[in-house]
Amino acid sequence: MMTTRFVLLIGGSGFIGRHLISQLAKTGYRVVVPTRRFKHAQDLSVISAVDAVIEADVHDDATLDRLMIGMDAVINLVGVLHSRPARKGQAYGEDFKRAHVDLPRRIVAACAKHGVPRYLHMSAMGAAEQAPSMYLRSKFAGEREAFSQHRVATTAFRPSVVFGPEDQFLNMFAAMQKFLPVIPLAGAEAKFQPVYVGDVARAFVCALQQNQTIGNLYELGGPRIYTLRELVQLAGAYAGHPRPVIGLPDLLARLQAWFFERLPGTPLISRDNLDSMQVDSVASADMWSELGLSPTELEAIAPYYLAPQGARTTS
Ligand SMILES: NC(=O)c1ccc[n+]([C@@H]2O[C@H](COP(=O)([O-])OP(=O)(O)OC[C@H]3O[C@@H](n4cnc5c(N)ncnc54)[C@H](OP(=O)(O)O)[C@@H]3O)[C@@H](O)[C@H]2O)c1
């Protein structure tokens, strides 16, 4: 078994990264987390397993070189949901290219250069060369880059939508139902297989510990498949504000997304997000047993963190 102790966790300050840090800590790993904004990740430095939180531009090769020193493994969780449009003849826009394709290529090149033997890569369910969205096409191209260095032992993961405390998915739909009398929903019949963030984190740690995962790509879905409408209804019910959900016809959904794209800040939903929902975010096979894990039911976790403040209990 490969002994991995020092892990460079790129994208470790986000939703999944924070859960992964606690799993890595429990298993005895030491973690370094680069971030674009130290302020927004500095709370991580109080965790004893976190050796350093470093403000760094991982898109700069010299910076990446420095971060590699002394590492046994690199985990890359960097992902973006929105991008400028693709130029003519390109499969995805510049922001997707930079974060999902160029970055993993540069990371594995740096791993090879500095003798870092192990790389874990985060992709997304539905990634495919001919996928309907720029997001999924760029995630697929990123997987290719992740496996492109023969001196680096790579494992990659494709989760469906990930839920857990602090998620931006069920929490957002729960919050919307607090304020809106009805929920006009784009992609209401799209299918998802929500996976618990703790299980995703455990899958990554298992991969670090098990050499038989090298070279593999794992689709991570939860125990059940739901339509988006069902998930929104569950979120409303758990939060104590169930509202009627009205599925938007495609044309209206695209108009709504077009409108959101024009508002200042990060759009709630973009036309590319809608394109991603044209394919079911559902695993082609159950891959948990290969990792020695089994996924947690949404019903066992979500009611506890979505419940109104006063009614919350611990699971
Ligand atoms: N959440 C889901 O439901 C889900 C489902 C499938 C796949 N995934 C994938 O899982 C990964 C993590 O997801 P998440 O929900 O934890 O995302 P998140 O909360 O947005 O965290 C992403 C992290 O990546 C870093 N980052 C974002 N854009 C970057 C950029 N352009 N350059 C460098 N660093 C950047 C951010 O770090 P700083 O801001 O500190 O620099 C942030 O901590 C992503 O690759 C995502 O595509 C997520």
Q: Using one digit for the tens of pLDDT, what is the confidence trace for 276-289?
A: 999 999 999 999 99
Does residue 2 register a pLDDT over 80? no
User: Which tokens is 90 given?
Assistant: 């390109």
Interatomic CA distance for residues 270 and 262, integer angstroms: 10
Q: Which amino acid is at 26?
A: K
pLDDT band at residue 310, thresholds of 50, 70 and 90?
low
Lowest mean pLDDT, pick from 47-51, 187-191, 216-220, 264-268: 264-268
pLDDT digits (tens, 9 = 90+) for 78-125: 999 999 999 999 999 999 999 999 999 999 999 999 999 999 999 999
pLDDT band at residue 77, thresholds of 50, 70 and 90?
very high
Query: Does 136 sit in the ligand 1 pocket, CB within 6 Å?
Result: no
Q: Which of 13, 16, 31, 204 to mutate to test the pocket of ligand 1 (most atoms within 8 A of CB)?
A: 16
- Is the separation of the CB atoms in 67 and 59 below 8 Å? no
pLDDT digits (tens, 9 = 90+) for 202-213: 999 999 999 999
For 155, the 3-state DSSP assignment is strand
For 15, the 3-state DSSP assignment is helix
What percentage of the chain carries pLDDT values higher than 70? Answer: 97
287 Cα: distance to centroid of ligand 1 (angstroms): 23
What's the rounded mean pLDDT across residues 135-145?
Answer: 98
CATH match for 6-162+195-222+282-295 among 3.30.470.30, 2.60.40.10, 3.40.50.720, 2.80.10.50? 3.40.50.720
